[in-house]
Amino acid sequence: MASSMSPTTTKRKGPLENNNQNKSKKSHWSAALSDALDDESVRLYRDDLCTVIRDKFPKAKIHLLVMPNEHITDLKCVNDTHVPLLKHMLKVGKEVAEKIAAKENATGSFAQFRYGYHAIPSLALLHMHVISQDFISPSLKTKKHWNSFTTSYFLDASDVIDDLQANHAIRVDVARMRKLLDNELQCHECPHTFPTIPKLKQHLMTHIY
């Protein structure tokens, strides 16, 4: 039919269309964990208090994140009323990690874990790292990555809980922690130090048994 021609819906690209009016607006990168919390497809475990996912950019063979379901931005927001929650997150982290390690037949450092928090996190939702101690992963790329997991920038979950019970809050020396990220690259299992990340990563292979 000739009358149906030339629909008036032809789209013209213009500045107004670039205004982000659609509802599928992407979150800022720092909200990635809040998004993950609501994404059932990435859940390894969830209960009334917390959720466990795999880190999207794992820095070791097994690298999990345990997050509270309640929105707590970071350790600065945590007080002694949160002690039971943090204890629960640690218990859950251990259980899930050991279950995965058994399932994957992990041995040696691949089955040894540390549980803790970064002193200065980048993502805006409290998250406890569960990380196997092999540190063999393509996503481990920078000095900051390395030092954030192998220096005292990594706050052991049990120390955080003790600190909370003793002092009712977590205090972080930000300047001191930032400096730790610039430390020389030292192996976490022996005294050797390395000039570059590739040399360190090559060395990490020698600790596999």
Partner DNA sequence: GTTCTAGAAC
CB of 179 to DNA, least distance (A): 13
Q: How many Cβ atoms from other residues are within 10 Å of residue 58's Cβ?
A: 18
Does the CA dihedral 156-91-161-69 come out positive or negative?
positive
Rounded to the nearest 10 degrees, how much is the dihedral formed by the CA atoms of 91, 92, 96, 97? -40
CB of 97 to DNA, least distance (A): 19
197-204 and 143-150 helices, crossing angle to 10°: 50
Match 């005294």 to its residue by tokens.
191
Nearer Cβ to DNA, position 187 or 197? 197
Contact 84, 48 (CB under 8 A): no
> Smaller CB distance to DNA: residue 52 or 124?
124
Site residues for DNA per CB under 7 A: 29, 56-57, 118, 122-123, 139, 141-145, 148, 195-199
Q: How far is the CB of 94 from DNA (least distance, A)?
A: 22
The active-site residue out of 82, 118, 127, 129 is 127
To DNA, the closest distance from the beta carbon of 105 in angstroms equals 26
Nearer to DNA, 123 or 128 (CB): 123
Catalytic (active site) residue 63: no
Contact yes or no for 185/197 (Cβ under 8 A): yes
Closer to DNA by Cβ: residue 82 or 129? 129
> What residues are annotated to the active site?
127
